[in-house]
A and B are shown apart, each in its own frame.
Chain A
Amino acid sequence: MFRLQDAPLPTPAGLLPADDPACGGLVAFEGRVRNHDQGRAVTGLHYEAYEALALSEGQRILDEARVRFAPARVAAAHRCGTLEVGEVAVVVVAAAPHRQEAFLACRWIIDQIKERLPIWKRELFADGTSAWVACGCHHQEPGP
């Protein structure tokens, strides 16, 4: 299930308990707020979402991953609101019989989240200014 919430996110184990004896590999990704971006000091991020579309599109991504990487088990959650440096903004977990599928599914899901989910982050800079991170050029960055 895909989750979107203001409260701190669950741990990977809380999001997808490693309780399936058929799954020998589990890969988790956490995206955390970093303290810099393109040379500027960042003190936090503010996330805004179109909740209805984010929930349906997030669920669609997970459903597609289950088909694409079957029989993988997957889960993901994204945070909304204002986060401080170090806080977890997104969690993705994928479990599969073998590590290869688990790595691939986890990577595919976070890439789809960054491309498709209607969520926007506003960077809060140390100098007191802030700006939306969304210029299209961001897609070319190596990612978190």
Chain B
Amino acid sequence: MKVRVRYFAMLRDAAGVAFEDVAGDFASPAELWAHLAGRRAFPLGPAEVRVSVNAVYVSFDAALRDGDEVAFIPPVSGG
């Protein structure tokens, strides 16, 4: 499967890209995060970020499907 991962704010700075397509066998955002965090020096841990799939907030153990757009949401600061 392949998913598109989008990065914002401090996670985008850490990743060096705004998005990337990642191939692998990821059952959930939790598995995807573990894979990505093994390759990159993220400044945040999984307990500090939320996750969305196809622009809807979901839990870290939600199911992932081929072609999903996944975003790990660092602490927000709107307003």
A-to-B contact residues, CB < 8 Å: 31, 47-50, 52-54, 56-57, 78, 89-90, 110, 113-122, 132-136, 138, 143-144
Distance in angstroms between the alpha carbons of A138 and B77 in the assembled complex: 8
Which residue of the partner chain, among A31, A52, A53, A134, contacts B9 with CB atoms under 8 Å?
A134
Given contacts A118-B8, A132-B10, contact A110 B73 (CB under 8 A): no
Shortest Cβ distance from B43 into chain A, in angstroms?
A: 10
Q: Which residues of A contact B57 (CB under 8 A)?
A: 53, 57
B-to-A contact residues, CB < 8 Å: 6, 8-10, 13, 48, 52, 55-57, 71, 73-79
Q: Which residues of A contact B77 (CB under 8 A)?
A: 114, 119-121, 132-134, 138
Distance in angstroms between the alpha carbons of A47 and B75 in the assembled complex: 14
Q: Tell me whether B73 and A50 are in contact (CB under 8 A).
A: yes
Shortest Cβ distance from A85 into chain B, in angstroms?
A: 16
Q: Tell me whether A50 and B71 are in contact (CB under 8 A).
A: yes
Name 28 interchain pairs, CB-CB below 8 A, sorted by A.
Answer: A31-B79, A48-B8, A48-B9, A50-B6, A50-B73, A53-B56, A53-B57, A78-B79, A110-B79, A113-B79, A114-B76, A114-B77, A114-B78, A114-B79, A115-B76, A117-B78, A118-B78, A119-B76, A119-B79, A120-B10, A120-B74, A120-B76, A120-B78, A134-B9, A134-B75, A135-B75, A136-B48, A136-B75
